[in-house]
Chain A
Amino acid sequence: MTLTWYLVLAAILFTIGAVGVLVRRNAIVVFMCVELMLNSVNLTLVTFARATGTVDGQIMAFFVMVVAAAEVVVGLAIIMSIYRTRRSASIDDANLLKY
């Protein structure tokens, strides 16, 4: 087995996350799919850090985690406030900007 398999697994996980963002309609599940994409990128960073023999990749993955945490906090707060005003967590219902 080579390191390539980790990268292929990360690519597949990223794709599943992207398809989930396109397909699912519940805003919270869409957020989970975004998290999955970020996670797969982290796996890629860690794998390349190991391949190149530097710790920098791990630090980038660490920063990605921090940004993901901040993004989730703000995103879920936005979903909650949308839910309060519109009584729905569906991304199809949040279409006021269209009109």
Chain B
Amino acid sequence: MTLLAAAADTSVQLSGGETVVFWVLGPIALAGALGMVFSRNAVHSALWLVNTMLSLGVFYVVQEAPFLGAVQIIVYTGAIMILFLFVLMLVGRDSSDSVVETLRGQRVAATVLGVGFAGLVGAGIAEATQDLPVTGLAAAEGEGGNIPAISELLFTKYLLAFEVTSALLITAAVGAMILAHIEREPGTRRTQKELSRARFLTERPQTHSGPGVFARANSVATPALLPDGSLAESSFATGTEVQLPDQLPRPTGREQLGSPDAALGTTDGTPSGIPGGHHR
């Protein structure tokens, strides 16, 4: 009954614990949003957004909406963001993450607009809702708590909207299937026999050559070396650019080991005494 008593008391101030939660998670949510806009990599953007959404989920739970908090975490961070990551992995990173402005001054204009909008709306809200009472939901929810109260409204007052929602979801599912489906002409798919012929009836019926004896890296991007020290073109991997061992990204924190050659105990990076061995 203390809850009801607290609900009847329409004070403006929130409890101390909630204040702490807000001032810890509020900046985290803000940092997540800013990080999403500013990070170059779309995958990083998605992870920053997950940060914000989890904070918002906690806010819902704190604000007497435990059902929405759970739905937020399950649906948004669990389903929607995973869908985002799946599409990111399918589409891949491309030039759209570049920093070149296509419209001159667009970024500055957008920032000015954003700051102005945030100032206007924020100040307006702060002014208008200064003495917003914390009525609380204890009276509206009654004995059952949050979820029975929501379900009661959902299946009486908002029944039509709820039914329309099911139609919306089915339409969305069918639409996504139609848009993402690839229709192949029957018979255009290559059979195993044809694939085999394409693989073996060539000039070199063999696998790509491996890194070879002079390998200094086990990355597929590293080409093999011919005996004269030049790069073997037949070993170039498809789908990735050729990278020499010196250009490969190094694990950090291994400065004491120096270069791979130093770690291996050899004194010279290139095969010595071989003509052309130093031309890389």
Q: Name A residues whose Cβ lies closer than 8 Å to a Cβ of B.
A: 1-9, 11-20, 22-29, 31-33, 35-36, 39, 42-43, 46-47, 49-56, 58-59, 61-63, 65-74, 76-81, 83-84, 87-93
9 A-B pairs besides A15-B117, A22-B106, A87-B94 with CB distance below 8 A are A11-B118, A14-B121, A15-B114, A19-B37, A26-B42, A36-B36, A66-B165, A67-B165, A67-B168
| Bound form: Cα–Cα A14–B121 in Å | 10
Interface of A is mostly: helix
| Bound form: Cα–Cα A28–B172 in Å | 18
Q: Is B257 an interface residue (CB 8 A)?
A: no
- Sample of 13 A–B contacts (CB below 8 Å): A1-B22, A2-B14, A3-B129, A8-B126, A22-B106, A23-B37, A28-B84, A28-B88, A43-B59, A49-B65, A55-B140, A66-B169, A80-B179
* Pair A39/B56 contact, Cβ less than 8 Å: yes
* Pair A76/B87 contact, Cβ less than 8 Å: yes
| Bound form: Cα–Cα A49–B150 in Å | 12
- CB contact between B52 and one of A11, A36, A89 (< 8 Å): that residue: A36
Chain A: minimal CB distance from B162 (Å)? 8
Q: Is B248 an interface residue (CB 8 A)?
A: no
- Chain B: residues with Cβ within 8 Å of the partner, total of 92
Q: Is B195 an interface residue (CB 8 A)?
A: no
* Pair B180/A77 contact, Cβ less than 8 Å: yes
Chain B: minimal CB distance from A42 (Å)? 7
Interface of B is mostly: helix
* Pair A28/B179 contact, Cβ less than 8 Å: no
* Pair B37/A73 contact, Cβ less than 8 Å: no
B221 partner residues in chain A, CB cutoff 8 A: none
* Pair B149/A55 contact, Cβ less than 8 Å: yes
Q: Name B residues whose Cβ lies closer than 8 Å to a Cβ of A.
A: 7, 12-14, 18-19, 22-23, 26, 29-30, 33-34, 36-37, 42, 45-46, 49, 52-53, 56, 59-60, 63-65, 67-68, 71-72, 75-76, 79-80, 83-84, 87-88, 90-91, 94-98, 102, 106-107, 110-111, 113-115, 117-118, 121-122, 125-126, 129-137, 139-141, 146, 149-150, 153-154, 157-158, 161, 165, 168-169, 171-173, 175-177, 179-180, 182
* Pair B165/A72 contact, Cβ less than 8 Å: no
- A13-B30, A46-B60 are contacts. A36–B49 as well, Cβ < 8 Å? yes
* Pair A49/B165 contact, Cβ less than 8 Å: no
* Pair B179/A81 contact, Cβ less than 8 Å: yes
B46 partner residues in chain A, CB cutoff 8 A: 32
- A32-B46, A50-B137 are contacts. A80–B90 as well, Cβ < 8 Å? yes
* Pair A19/B125 contact, Cβ less than 8 Å: no
| Bound form: Cα–Cα A88–B94 in Å | 7
| Bound form: Cα–Cα A30–B60 in Å | 25
